[in-house]
């Protein structure tokens, strides 16, 4: 007996080849898949047939020994044509299943391919956007004269829109870049939070303290015309005498140039039943302080002057000097003023030795960077915020959280919250 091997893309085709070559009585020894069918390559099946006669067409009878040698006997050898028929039936079933499987695979592969292409496209696009952002950012960096990484873009925008002076932004960002841990730089919300905390830390605040029992506190409010000195003073008088504390409070006004101004404060004093003194010169001032010596707190209102009105500021200085008393001077500034004006005002009034800053008109602006910059530059602590026209309600003790939240979200957001 001789063995012959035939290969073809399907078992049926392989058998047909065998049939053609070896004739009907050849016996099938084995059929097996040599290679799986793929999208790019046909499958390969191998059929081994045995011929009893010597040649394919001249095969001889095989001896029992030969049969044993090749490890099979007649019972397991099937007639080739029968096998071919069975196989071709099987094959058509298999084909159907295989076709369905191939269609499924192709569909999945197309889906997968589309998905991969889409993913690639998106990755390419976002790379391009990043590149563009970086290019724009680098261009801006050149004009800014400071190297700011693109992940700081949002925070830089917020700081700039809020009106923080650009030199201050530059200095703070450089400081941030030098100290911020690298792992925190990965997302913009962490950067934002870090920056927010840093700004808060840069704002000095003077905590409101109780007045010692045996002591007396004298506060003078100075500042430009119309910033809200008189209104704030009335609010403080109510806070210290009726609302937050029960101190004996007295009021002095140095703003006697305008009858209306005296009248305005006198009305408040009357309503709150507080002693009230109006003063023209330094002698009067000393007398007024002596008259109010029994008070725990004396609040002094001053004439509004333009920051350029040096004479008025010098006159205020002489009141302070000649009183021979420690007087706490609060510079009242409006949050709605420009940074350059605020700085100008501070420089002129600093002749008086400013102790603290009171910021008014929080409700009239949405940009608080100017106020931040004033404090950053002068390092004068904040003491109160005026948040509206209502006496006595619209006043807050200053706190850096409040100011920085207003800087990031606006005052309106705080009121709505
Ligand atoms: N919207 C708003 N107006 C205020 C605030 N504080 C004062 N004002 C108003 O600003 C104007 C001038 O206030 P006034 O106290 O007379 O300023 P002064 O000249 O510095 O004494 C008044 O109409 C006040 O009602 C504030 O916090 N918000
Ligand atoms: Mg006034």
pLDDT tens track for 376-413: 999 999 999 999 999 999 999 999 999 999 999 888 76
Please indicate whether residue 171 or residue 142 has the higher confidence score (pLDDT): 171
Q: What's the confidence (pLDDT) of residue 51?
A: 81
**C-alpha 68 – ligand 1 centre gap (Å):** 117
Query: What would be the CATH architecture of the domain defined by 217-416?
Result: 3-Layer(aba) Sandwich (3.40)
Beta carbons of 254 and 285 less than 8 angstroms apart: yes
Q: Supply the angle between the helices 80-144 and 11-22 in degrees, to the nearest 10.
A: 140
4: which strand partners?
49
What is the spatial distance between Cα 23 and Cα 18, in angstroms, rounded to a whole number? 7
Please, which residues have CB within 8 angstroms of residue 184's CB and are 6 or more apart in sequence? 190, 191, 194
Q: Residue whose CA is closest, atom 7 of ligand 1? A: 228
Q: What's the confidence (pLDDT) of residue 157?
A: 86
Q: How many residues does the chain have?
A: 417
What is the spatial distance between Cα 229 and Cα 236, in angstroms, rounded to a whole number? 10
Which residue ranges does the chain devote to CATH 3.40.50.300?
217-416
Beta carbons of 77 and 28 less than 8 angstroms apart: yes
What is the spatial distance between Cα 229 and Cα 331, in angstroms, rounded to a whole number? 9
**Is the pTM value of this prediction over 0.75?**
no
Mean per-residue pLDDT of the chain: 84
| Closest residue by Cα to residue 406 from 414, 395, 398 | 414
Q: Is the CB of 365 under 6 A from ligand 1?
A: no
Q: Is the CB of 348 under 6 A from ligand 1?
A: no
Please, which residues have CB within 8 angstroms of residue 212's CB and are 6 or more apart in sequence? none
Q: Is the CB of 336 under 6 A from ligand 1?
A: no
Q: Is the CB of 225 under 6 A from ligand 1?
A: yes
What is the spatial distance between Cα 232 and Cα 226, in angstroms, rounded to a whole number? 11
Tokens of 294: 């029994």
Please, which residues have CB within 8 angstroms of residue 325's CB and are 6 or more apart in sequence? 218, 289
pLDDT of residue 77 exceeding 70, the answer is no
Alpha helices in 60-217, H assignment, sequence order? 64-70, 80-144, 153-162, 166-179, 188-201
Q: Residue whose CA is closest, atom 10 of ligand 1? A: 228
């Amino acid at each position: 007996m001789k063995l012959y091997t035939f290969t073809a893309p399907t078992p049926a085709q392989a058998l047909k080849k065998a049939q053609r070559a070896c004739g009907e009585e050849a016996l099938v020894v084995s059929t097996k898949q040599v290679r799986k069918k793929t999208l790019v390559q046909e499958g390969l099946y191998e059929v081994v047939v045995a011929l009893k006669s010597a040649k394919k067409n001249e095969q001889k009878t095989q001896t029992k020994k030969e049969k044993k040698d090749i490890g099979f006997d007649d019972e397991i050898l099937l007639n080739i044509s029968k096998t071919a028929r069975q196989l071709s039936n099987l094959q058509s079933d298999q084909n159907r299943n295989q076709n369905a499987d191939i269609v499924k695979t192709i569909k999945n592969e197309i889906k997968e391919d589309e998905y991969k292409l889409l993913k690639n496209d998106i990755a390419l696009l976002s790379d391009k956007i990043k590149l563009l952002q970086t290019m724009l950012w680098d261009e801006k960096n050149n004009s800014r004269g400071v190297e700011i990484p693109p992940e700081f873009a949002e925070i830089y925008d917020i700081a700039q829109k809020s009106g923080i002076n650009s030199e201050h932004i530059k200095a703070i960002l450089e400081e941030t870049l030098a100290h911020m841990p690298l792992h925190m730089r990965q997302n913009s919300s962490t950067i934002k939070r870090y920056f927010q905390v840093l700004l808060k830390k840069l704002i000095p605040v003077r905590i409101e303290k109780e007045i010692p029992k045996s002591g007396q506190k004298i506060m003078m409010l100075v500042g430009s015309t119309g910033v809200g000195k008189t209104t704030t003073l009335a609010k403080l008088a109510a806070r210290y005498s009726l609302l937050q504390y029960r101190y004996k409070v007295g009021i002095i006004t140095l703003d006697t140039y305008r009858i209306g101004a005296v009248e305005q404060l006198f009305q408040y004093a009357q309503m709150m039943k507080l002693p009230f003194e109006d003063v023209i010169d330094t002698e009067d001032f000393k007398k007024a302080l002596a008259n109010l010596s029994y008070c725990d707190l004396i609040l002094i209102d001053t004439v509004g002057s333009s920051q350029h009105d040096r004479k008025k500021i010098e006159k205020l200085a002489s009141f302070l000097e000649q009183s021979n008393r420690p007087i706490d001077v609060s510079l009242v500034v409006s949050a709605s003023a420009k940074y350059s004006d605020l700085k100008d005002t501070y420089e002129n009034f600093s002749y008086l030795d400013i102790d603290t800053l009171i910021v008014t008109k929080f409700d009239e602006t949405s940009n608080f960077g100017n106020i931040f910059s004033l404090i950053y530059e002068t390092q004068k602590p904040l003491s109160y915020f005026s948040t509206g026209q209502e006496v006595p309600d619209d006043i807050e003790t200053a706190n850096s959280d409040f100011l920085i939240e207003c800087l990031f979200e606006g005052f309106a957001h705080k009121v709505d919250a």
